[in-house]
Structure 1
Amino acid sequence: MRLLLIAISAIASVAVDEGGLHLTTSAIASVAIDEGEIVTHQEARPDGSTPDWKPVEFSEESVLVLSAANFTMARGHFPVMLVQFYAPWCSHSRALAPEFAAAADELQARGLEVRLAKVDAVAEEALADLFHVAGYPTLLWFTSLADEHPREYLTHGNHKAGEIVEWVVRRLGPPVVEVSDAAAARTWVTGQLRDPMMGIVLQLPASSASALRPALDRAAAPYVDRARVAYTTDAQAFAAAVEVANKHGAASTTGASGNAMKLDKNYLQQIMRAAMSGKDAPVEQVAALVLKPHDERVVRASLANSEGAHEGASTEGFEDGLKTLVVTHALPQIVPFTEAYEAALVAGPAHVQLLAFGTPAQLAAEELPLRALSRRHVGKCLVVFVDVHEDASDGLLELFRVDEAQVAAADGLTFFGIDLGHDFEAEVRYAPPEDRPPPTPGTPGAALEKYLDGFVNAMLEGKAAPVRQSEPLPEVNDGPVALVVGDTFDTLVNVSGLDVLLQIFAPWCGHCKKLEPEYLQLGVRFAEIKSVVIAKMDGTKNEVPGLEYDGFPTLYLFTASNRQIPVGIDVELSVEGLTEFLQAHAEVKIDAGRLRGKDEL
């Protein structure tokens, strides 16, 4: 998912007084929190160089500083913690640091039972590995000392102090609230209709509500970032919720159609009759009222698989039903490619996405078939609109090599697909078949819907043809350093019998430019060693399946038996350092007598 993220991006007892944070005497040796600490973040990179950016001063006195020595003790004193694993040289870690510190200050000021902490993942490598930290910064949410599988906080689109605070506060409160009477229901629904987050009101049968509440809490907890959930056992309270929602929802307009759903009169009459009689929900399944900030504002629904709720039966289906309800309605049918939906796009409910590039006018003309397609594949494929005129879309335009002017002038939207993998760590891009049909007279959009449905099904089944980024093949490639592009990787790198040292670089990377003369001399030194190839590839313009790199330069040795050995940070990036590395790891013995000396370079 590296290229997509590039495209999208834009302990111990503590007493608090006016002087800041102070540690008890017994804790000073174990926990490092300096009183009133002022941090200047301008650490050196792993190679010792200083990054070119202006340092920012801010206080981190509310942030616990953890290490392997005090981590367990800290979790014992503060069971609920949000822990940031960072790298001092990482630009994203540096950008997050002042926001993280401000969030810690705010949470401390509110007196909440939670602490924010940080771990230098480079210095504490074993601790980072224990929690499978694979990138920086990684924020993990611990809820108890026994929590061995903490939830990850996604910083994409949620990196401001206020967003961190809101995320934490939602997890400290109950995932579900009860609205006990009509007045409470009216207040909750009125407020929720102004909220940018989806809301759900459930009417539980009074006879089994207490048995269902734990299941409801479990079901709602994973979705506190996507939906606010309330329930009632009072028929009149649910009727009041429906009445308020119907009034506000009917007066609202969303989408190009300009129509908001109004709950049908028969449903309202059922609710009102139930309220008058004091009976349980008027359907066999648990009744649900869905309030959305997008598409149709108000949706009448029921909780799938909840038929046994009235009898107090197993709650497994009840939990699945709430999950289905959230996945179905939490996102717009057509998700705009904006920062507001960034987290959903990089780690949301569906790893397969259909991307529609174009202008708002083009979207309006083809909106109906896209909405139908989204409903058909809900929970499996997101339909995403990329406005080519928005600055936020520049990264995706480059990623898919889309020309803004050409797409904007086309007769319709331009489509691509992407599969981020089940763990959202992979990234495979697709282009639909070239035989896009013309509009069908009398049924506008039907042909497009069928065409795109076939494309989405092919992606879901793994049958779509992937699109890989590659530079054109170089016309001349006989220098001391071989040039590799995406289309020539297999023929030049995965060559049986040869040891290939590959440098993955970026044209704008200062470290790559510094390495260039050394790397060229390395190629000259090994010119007579036919079993060794010194090669390089532009990592910003070429893709190779399975080849991972998070920074530049990244160097790998692909051995004669096709093993992949990374060049670690302990290897000096010089002619001598890389020569020693090759002599130590190349599978085909290197004849040192054929290496060119310094005077020949």
Structure 2
Amino acid sequence: MSKFQLVALLMGCLLVAVPFSRNSASAAADEGDDDDDADDVVVLTTKNFDSVIAGSKFALVEFYAPWCGHCKSLAPHYSKAATILKASDPSVVIAKVDATVESELGTKFDVKGYPTLKWFIDGELASDYNGGRDTDGIVSWIKKKTGPFAITVETTESLEELEDDHPVLMVAYFKSLEGAEYEEFKSVALKTEDVPFVQTTDAAVAAAAGLEKPGISAVKNFVGEAREVVAFTGSLTAVEIKTFVTAEKLPLTIEFTQGNSDKIFNSGIKKQIIFWGSAADLSAESTSFASVRAVAKALKGQLVFVTANNEGESHEPITNYFGLKGAASPVIMGFHMEKNKKFRYTGELTEAALSAFANSVLDDTAKADYKSAPIPEEPEDGGVTVVVGKNFDDIVMDPSKDVLLEVYAPWCGHCKKLEPIYKKLAKRFSSVDTVVIAKMDGTENEHPEVEAKGYPTILFYPAGKKTPIPFDGGDRSLKALTKFIKKHAESEYELPKKGDKDDESNDKDEL
């Protein structure tokens, strides 16, 4: 699973490849008409795309869908960023494309989900956008791409002004802006887009940033935290400077919101500890939260410590993704983003116990936790074996069985259309003891041997092997599924002859 897919899942939606189709709205779009074109975001269509991009030194283009909730959430931030950048740097164009209308552009730039943002330089595609999804994040990312890698500051007043505008600054002090150590600093600043860098040769500015000799410090003014200055104590090499920046650029704990999601997922740190609780659990008086913050301070730069207020507006993605609905708070989860593994903590909420758990997540000794619905009282539904997380190993991983598993979602239209065909398939194999036709609700259950990028996902687990083989044919007919099982099954079997009611002439359904 890619980071893109994982972030989409955690934010509450699975973005899958969308077939683009041109519709009657394209005529209006071709003329550049757009009801939202009252701001400084340039509306692009197939007709004007090449000319606008070719005529721009820099351009950020959002490919969106009008119905997409994340696109709607991004819109005011994107618009405000466009206004700020238009005033400060006219060489930058902020633009958008309705990819549901401009199908050729969506296909050309490999748009598979919404919103997708692309960065262009001198008319050529340069990279995907990977900055924040709020106004400040967009502006700072583009300024880093288009301007100097670091802001030169010569007075303490200028440093104070920057502190007012940024929750964290990386300040570098050198006697002169040259030399081997300066080049090491420069190489990191050029490649780091989510935090502003400051450089100075002024001793007073350096002192205000906690530096008495040439070096680097982090000046932090995070909301809810007192101003803190942390001086870098390592050697001025790119590797050590990058490690310092990664450790200091985030607050000790960061709240999960849509605005913060990119900071969390693009932090460069793959593992997280999540503290899910009420407002009281997250208050300064909470002893459990104090323990979490103490561990966060000790493991700064190794784990991202994320909070989710289960009484707030942004908790639902965390609550749903980690299966915490109805759970007693607080709950502490470990999360390995790259491997999509979850770890649930069940011990005491003391600093020592939490530290041991956090370190077990770090060293990969923590036991993974997978979401599961209760084992059903009725093991079958219309002849189809019902699988949940808790009985997955017993049924799907049975070495004596060939198992076809459909991973579905109750709300999925394609899954509903497949259901009668799938039940016929189960009926066809009902007399074959070595083949199991099964299904699992992917919204309620998880297992390390299942990766569902969309619904329905159909996987075949051969007897004794159990490395799943995906069914990727577009034809989900009874005939196609039967042939797929026959091709990959380890066991020998013979199907009974089909009767009139089960004849394949009646089973030409395709999805």
Q: Could you say which TM-score interval applies, normalised by the shorter chain?
A: 0.7 to 0.9
Task: State the 1:162 CA deviation.
Answer: 8.2
Q: Which residue number corresponds to residue 165 of structure 2?
A: 195
Q: Which residue number corresponds to residue 377 of structure 1?
A: 299
2:447 is matched by which residue type in structure 1?
A: V
Q: Which residue number corresponds to residue 567 of structure 1?
A: 471
Counterpart contact for 1:92–1:136, Cα < 8 Å: no
Counterpart contact for 1:290–1:301, Cα < 8 Å: yes
Q: Which residue number corresponds to residue 212 of structure 2?
A: 282
1:456 aligns with 2:456: no
Q: Which residue number corresponds to residue 345 of structure 1?
A: 264
CA offset digits 1:301-351 (Å, max 9, x no partner): 433334xxxxxxxxxx34345424432332221222233321233332432
Task: State the 1:176 CA deviation.
Answer: 0.3
Task: State the 1:511 CA deviation.
Answer: 2.7
Q: Which residue number corresponds to residue 414 of structure 2?
A: 511
Query: The residue matched to 1:466 in structure 2 has which SS?
Result: coil
Task: State the 1:137 CA deviation.
Answer: 5.2
1:159-178 to 2 correspondences below 5 Å: 164=138, 167-178=141-152
Q: Which residue number corresponds to residue 17 of structure 2?
A: none
1:235 aligns with 2:203: yes
TM-align CA RMSD: 4.4
CA offset digits 1:139-179 (Å, max 9, x no partner): 4546689999x45526xx61x78864653344212220112
Q: Do the aligned partners of residues 414 and 103 (structure 1) sit closer, same or farther apart at CA in structure 2, a change above 3 Å counting?
A: closer
1:109-258 to 2 correspondences below 5 Å: 111-112=90-91, 138-141=116-119, 150=127, 152-153=129-130, 158=133, 164=138, 167-180=141-154, 182=155, 185-186=156-157, 188-206=158-176, 209=178, 213-225=182-194, 227-238=195-206, 241=208
Unaligned runs of 5+ in 1: 11-32, 40-55, 243-266, 268-280, 307-316, 408-412, 438-447
Counterpart contact for 2:409–2:443, Cα < 8 Å: yes
Counterpart contact for 2:42–2:93, Cα < 8 Å: no
CA offset digits 1:119-143 (Å, max 9, x no partner): 89998999878xxx88665545466
Equivalent in 32, 36, 41 of residue 31 of structure 2: 36
Counterpart contact for 1:193–1:293, Cα < 8 Å: no
Q: Do the aligned partners of residues 300 and 564 (structure 1) sit closer, same or farther apart at CA in structure 2, a change above 3 Å counting?
A: closer
Q: Which residue number corresponds to residue 368 of structure 1?
A: 290
Distance in 2 of aligned mates of 1:593 and 1:124: 51
Q: Do the aligned partners of residues 296 and 61 (structure 1) sit closer, same or farther apart at CA in structure 2, a change above 3 Å counting?
A: closer
Percent identity between matched residues is 26
Distance in 1 of aligned mates of 2:246 and 2:71: 34
Q: Of the two structures, which has the highest relative contact order with CA contacts closer than 8 Å and spacing of 6 or more?
A: 2
Q: Which residue number corresponds to residue 23 of structure 1?
A: none
Q: Do the aligned partners of residues 358 and 212 (structure 1) sit closer, same or farther apart at CA in structure 2, a change above 3 Å counting?
A: same
Q: Do the aligned partners of residues 416 and 98 (structure 1) sit closer, same or farther apart at CA in structure 2, a change above 3 Å counting?
A: closer
Q: Which residue number corresponds to residue 418 of structure 1?
A: 335
The structure having more radius of gyration, on CA atoms, is: 1
Task: State the 1:455 CA deviation.
Answer: 0.7
Task: State the 1:453 CA deviation.
Answer: 0.7
Distance in 2 of aligned mates of 1:599 and 1:237: 83
Task: State the 1:85 CA deviation.
Answer: 7.6
TM norm structure 2: 0.75
Q: Which residue number corresponds to residue 492 of structure 1?
A: 395
1:450-599 to 2 correspondences below 5 Å: 450-478=352-380, 479-496=382-399, 498-560=401-463, 561-568=465-472, 570-583=473-486, 586=489, 591=494, 594-599=497-502
Q: Do the aligned partners of residues 103 and 397 (structure 1) sit closer, same or farther apart at CA in structure 2, a change above 3 Å counting?
A: closer
Q: Which residue number corresponds to residue 312 of structure 1?
A: none
Distance in 2 of aligned mates of 1:100 and 1:597: 61
Counterpart contact for 1:500–1:532, Cα < 8 Å: yes
Task: State the 1:548 CA deviation.
Answer: 1.5
Query: The residue matched to 1:483 in structure 2 has which SS?
Result: strand
Q: Which residue number corresponds to residue 326 of structure 1?
A: 245
2:448 is matched by which residue type in structure 1?
A: P
Unaligned runs of 5+ in 2: 14-27, 507-511
Task: State the 1:7 CA deviation.
Answer: 4.1
Counterpart contact for 2:163–2:221, Cα < 8 Å: yes
1:391 aligns with 2:293: no
The 10-residue stretch of structure 1 (584-593 or 357-366) with the greater mean CA deviation from structure 2: 584-593
Counterpart contact for 1:502–1:555, Cα < 8 Å: yes
CA offset digits 1:282-313 (Å, max 9, x no partner): 33x5253614233554334433334xxxxxxx
Distance in 2 of aligned mates of 1:89 and 1:486: 36
Query: The residue matched to 1:217 in structure 2 has which SS?
Result: helix
Counterpart contact for 1:486–1:542, Cα < 8 Å: yes
Distance in 1 of aligned mates of 2:386 and 2:450: 17
Q: Do the aligned partners of residues 126 and 404 (structure 1) sit closer, same or farther apart at CA in structure 2, a change above 3 Å counting?
A: closer
TM norm structure 1: 0.65
Counterpart contact for 1:418–1:430, Cα < 8 Å: yes
